[in-house]
Amino acid sequence: MRYVYSSQESVRTKRIETAYNTHIVRRNDHSTIGAVVAAVATPAIFWKRASVINCGAGLGSGIGLLTHYGRSVSGDPPPEVDVMMPVTAASEQYSV
C-alpha cells in the first residue's frame, strides 16, 4: 500500500530492505519452526488430552521467538546482507 507522499522508488526501496533484513527473516523462521514443531508434538505427547490442549502452535511460536532473542543476546546475531539495487529503465521513467 502506498501513501500519498511516497514515490514508487521509496516503496520499492523499503520493500527490498524489509525482504533482506536478516533479523526479521530469522525471527520469522524461528517462530514458524517452533509453531510447526509444537503443533505436531503437543497432541503426540498429550494424546489422551489432545482435544483439550489445542495451544501447541501458539506456545511453539512463542518458544521460537524466545529462541531467536536468546541467540541474538548470546552473541549469534544474523549476518548482514549487502543489497545491490539494480537501476532499470522502468525505475528511471518514474523518477521525479
Q: Are 7 and 96 in contact (CB under 8 A)?
A: yes
pTM for the model: 0.57
Q: What percent of the chain shows pLDDT beyond 90? A: 0
pLDDT value of residue 96: 44
Cα separation, 46 vs 20, in Å, equals 39
- 5 versus 85: the higher-pLDDT residue is 5
Please tell me whether residue 89 adopts helix, strand or coil conformation.
Answer: helix
Over range 42-64, report the average pLDDT. 74
CB count within 10 Å of CB 91 equals 13
Listed residue (18, 11, 12, 92) closest to 2, CA to CA:
11
pLDDT tens by residue, 68-79: 888 888 887 767
**Listed range (8-12, 48-52, 65-69) with the worst mean pLDDT:** 48-52
| Distance from chain centroid for Cα 47 | 31
Q: Which three cell numbers stand for residue 59?
A: 506456545
